[in-house]
Amino acid sequence: MSAALDVYTVITVSLGALFFLAGSLGLLRFPDTLTRLHALTKADNLGLGLIVAGLLPQVAAPLAWVGLIAVWLLALLTGATVGQLLAIKVRRAAARTEAKAATDGGHRG
Amino acid sequence: MSEFLLAAAAFVLGTVALGLVRILRGPDDADRMLAAQLLGTGGAAALLLLGVATGDPAVADLALVLTLLAAFASVAFVAGKAGGNDE
């Protein structure tokens, strides 16, 4: 039983680490801010979630479970909030730049 | 098992460090903030792995604080630049 749980931990934590690698690569390789935001939230939600899920059989007390899951739930909440806030800011900045370009073009024309 | 968990923690930290190249490149401040956010989450994951590997449950509280501070940093970034000078 213990060996099976160890195998589960190894597989799940490895998958989570892979998602962190994918998130970092996406942050480096994706072309604009909104797509990079997508890569980041994948690492946040799935990477951390898989690592927490893999660690659960390795800790004994139910209280330690609560601590691990609390970290993941907080990361989910903050990831969603920050993602929305940053996306709103990026879109507003883009809209301002476009409006400014249109106004400048109007003055010239 | 604890050797594997330590190796996984080192791997996660390595990928986060790779993501920090985005802070150097930019081009926008929002992109730099994304890399800082990844550092917060990846740091929390590495701390959780270290805590289980060393058998110290208090490290989970550190991970909780790190996640919270990363969120505060991003919220402060958005709120502080709302009427800002990014044009």
Q: Identify which has the larger pLDDT, B26 or B12.
A: B12
ipTM confidence score? 0.82
Q: How far apart are CA B75 and CA A79, in angstroms?
A: 11
B83 pLDDT band, cuts 50/70/90, is low
Q: Is residue B86 part of a domain?
A: no
Q: How many CB pairs under 8 A join A and B?
A: 140
Tell me if B48 sits within 8 A of A64, measured CB to CB.
no
Tell me if B66 sits within 8 A of B47, measured CB to CB.
yes
Give B21's contacts in chain A (Cβ within 8 Å).
28
Tell me if A23 sits within 8 A of B19, measured CB to CB.
yes
- What range defines the domain where residue B17 resides? 2-79
Q: How far apart are CA A74 and CA A82, in angstroms?
A: 12
Q: Is residue B43 part of a domain?
A: yes
What digits encode the pLDDT tens for the residues A54-91? 998 888 778 888 888 988 999 899 888 888 888 888 88
**What pLDDT score does B87 carry?**
45
pLDDT mean across residues, chain B: 85
pLDDT mean across residues, chain A: 85
Tell me if A37 sits within 8 A of A60, measured CB to CB.
no
Residue B82 has pLDDT above 60, yes or no: no
Q: Is residue B14 part of a domain?
A: yes
pTM confidence score: 0.84
Overall average pLDDT of the A14-33 stretch: 88
**Number of domains comprising chain B:** 1
Residue A105 has pLDDT above 80, yes or no: no
- What range defines the domain where residue A42 resides? 2-108
Overall average pLDDT of the A28-34 stretch: 84
B10 near A CB under 8 A: no
Residue A7 to residues A54, A72, B5: CA-CA distances in angstroms?
Answer: 10, 22, 12
B46 pLDDT band, cuts 50/70/90, is very high
Residues 52-71 of B with CB under 8 A from A: 52, 57, 60-61, 63-64, 67-68, 70-71
**Number of domains comprising chain A:** 1
